[in-house]
A = this chain, B = another copy of it.
Amino acid sequence: MTTQKGTTKEAIVEAAIALFYAKGYKGTTIRDIASEAKINPANISYYFKGKQGLLEECLIRFFEPYLACLEEETGKLEKDQADHCLKRAIKRVLVFQSEHKLLARFVWREISIDSQTSREIISSYLMKERFFLKNLIQATLKEQKMAFPISMLIIQLKGILMMPYVNSLYVSEVWGMGPHEPYFIDKYHLMISKWLESWSGNQTFVKPIESVASNHY
């Protein structure tokens, strides 16, 4: 059978993401994936050197562009205002995740399982993430007297970024709209901006924080 070049590989990844999301990595067999992608199971080993290789491809496809957002904005710290970089980074990360909801959800859930497998690749990505977030936050805080330790801000930020895709149900209802809806990102981003300004001191274009609070609960 003749297929378009590259089609098979893409079909496998797409099917894998959908099934890993729905049934978990361990709960998905390569035959599931093969039949979903309408290809021969052997192709999975052919293209990805096995099921774990496919998992790693998925992780890479998530983390590479995800980290690119953070890296690029970290790179702009020298010529742009730090809080602008941080805000742009946040926005880009939110957009990226919202464009890859299944993948985002699957990745954040799966790495909470002590899977033995792919441990190295995951921890290397998480290290990079932490590095960029730290730099961005540190630069934003530069001239501030820090009310919080940086480490705490990093983890807060990370939690906020993951939240809509890990607890989408919760967030979507709390916010009256979900990550899938058109203006969600704008709204969520606005909320984060206010949180950010609450500690960065840089409140140029922000409404009073009370309005967020009452929105929030």
Interface residues of A (CB under 8 A from B): 22-24, 26-27, 109, 112-116, 152, 155-156, 158-160, 162-163, 166-167, 169-171, 173-174, 176, 194-195, 198, 209-210, 212-214, 216-217
Q: Which residues does chain B contribute within 8 Å of A112, judged by CB atoms?
A: 109
Q: Which residues does chain B contribute within 8 Å of A159, judged by CB atoms?
A: 167, 169-171, 173-174
Number of copies of this chain in the oligomer?
Answer: 4
- Taken together as a complex, chains A and B put the C-alpha atoms of A61 and B113 apart, in Å, by 22
Nearest chain-B residue to A214 (Cβ)?
Answer: B209
User: With A213-B212, A214-B209 in contact, do A113 and B24 touch (Cβ < 8 Å)?
Assistant: yes
User: With A24-B24, A212-B217 in contact, do A166 and B169 touch (Cβ < 8 Å)?
Assistant: no
- Taken together as a complex, chains A and B put the C-alpha atoms of A116 and B29 apart, in Å, by 14
Q: Which residues does chain B contribute within 8 Å of A194, judged by CB atoms?
A: 217
Pairwise interchain contact B212-A115, C-beta atoms closer than 8 A: no
Other 17 A-B pairs with CB < 8 A, given A24-B113, A162-B167, A216-B216: A23-B113, A23-B116, A24-B24, A24-B115, A26-B27, A109-B109, A109-B112, A156-B173, A158-B170, A160-B170, A163-B167, A163-B170, A194-B217, A210-B210, A210-B213, A213-B213, A213-B217
Q: Which residues does chain B contribute within 8 Å of A163, judged by CB atoms?
A: 167, 170
- Taken together as a complex, chains A and B put the C-alpha atoms of A191 and B116 apart, in Å, by 37
Q: Which residues does chain B contribute within 8 Å of A216, judged by CB atoms?
A: 213, 216
- Taken together as a complex, chains A and B put the C-alpha atoms of A113 and B25 apart, in Å, by 10
